[in-house]
């Protein structure tokens, strides 16, 4: 079983496939966007070999966590490997975990290839597994930093602020971008302060 491949990306194809050369062998990998867009001289792809209709395919990810989430996603009834990698290429993993935990159907149906029924299955089949994954991440963060992770608190603040901005007519894409920029600058944001500063940012950009 191949766990990871470390090598040089020799070329990229339009459908997010890359070829990584290692020890004179070129491995064709269906990559997530972080891996696909990597500008590093040498990359590490955490891979999963998945059987297809007529061949085995390698799916590759920039982190072990993304690979684990890929396996969780493709375990959902009706959600295949191609859809799973597309989802992980278009959304922040932490936001996805939060949306599943909080049963945020509105967020999930915006993901590529996901309709309302599939979103509901994701919530039903993955909620407990995702909760365990988040707890493990928090435990690791606590061991590393000597303190409890604030992941869930931060995500709740982010989610409430995002919903408020969308209700005010701002696009989801731009709102997410502004909120992330603000939260990097200040980790102690309240929802009200975050919304206020985001609105100020939108106003300044419109001048």
Enumerate the domain spans of the chain.
Answer: 1-62, 65-149, 152-206
178 closest CA partner among 201, 151, 155: 201
Residue 174 Ramachandran class (φ > 0 left, ψ -120 to 50 alpha, else beta): alpha
Express as a percent the part of the chain with pLDDT over 70.
89
Q: What is the pLDDT of residues 21-72, one digit of tens each?
A: 999 999 999 999 999 999 889 999 999 999 877 788 999 999 988 999 999 9
pLDDT of residue 30: 94
Q: What is the pLDDT of residues 54-65, one digit of tens each?
A: 788 999 999 988
Q: Which fold has domain 152-206?
A: Helicase, Ruva Protein; domain 3 (1.10.8)
Q: What is the pLDDT of residues 159-173, one digit of tens each?
A: 788 888 888 888 877
Residue 164 CA, distance from chain mean position: 22
CA distances from 170 to 1, 95, 106, 142 (A): 46, 19, 16, 36
- Read off the pLDDT band of 8 (50, 70, 90): very high
CB 81 within 8 A of CB 31: no
CA max distance for the chain: 56
pTM: 0.69
What would the mean pLDDT of 79-83 be, rounded to a whole number?
A: 90
**Cα distance between residue 59 and residue 49, in whole Å:** 6
pLDDT of residue 144: 47
**Cα distance between residue 3 and residue 131, in whole Å:** 25
Pick the CATH number of 1-62 from 2.40.50.140, 1.50.10.10, 2.60.200.20, 2.150.10.10: 2.40.50.140
Q: Which fold has domain 65-149?
A: DNA polymerase; domain 1 (1.10.150)
């Amino acid at each position: 079983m191949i766990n990871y491949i470390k090598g040089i990306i020799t070329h990229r194809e339009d459908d997010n496939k890359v070829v990584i050369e290692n020890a004179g062998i070129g491995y064709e990998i269906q990559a997530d966007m972080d891996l696909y867009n990597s500008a590093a001289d040498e990359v590490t792809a955490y891979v999963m070999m998945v059987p297809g209709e007529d061949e085995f395919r390698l799916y590759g990810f920039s982190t072990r966590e993304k690979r684990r989430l890929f396996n969780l996603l493709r375990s959902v009834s009706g959600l295949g490997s191609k859809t799973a990698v597309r989802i992980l290429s278009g959304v922040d993993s932490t936001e996805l975990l939060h949306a599943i935990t909080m049963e945020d159907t509105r967020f999930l149906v915006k993901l590529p290839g996901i309709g309302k029924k599939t979103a509901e299955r994701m919530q039903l089949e993955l909620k407990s597994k995702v909760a365990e994954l988040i707890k493990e991440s928090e435990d690791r963060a606590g061991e590393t930093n000597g303190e409890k992770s604030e992941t869930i608190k931060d995500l709740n603040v982010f989610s409430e602020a995002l919903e408020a901005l969308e209700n005010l007519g701002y696009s989801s894409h731009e709102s997410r971008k502004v909120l992330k920029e603000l939260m990097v600058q200040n980790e102690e944001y309240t929802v009200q302060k975050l919304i206020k500063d985001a609105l100020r940012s939108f106003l300044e950009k419109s001048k």
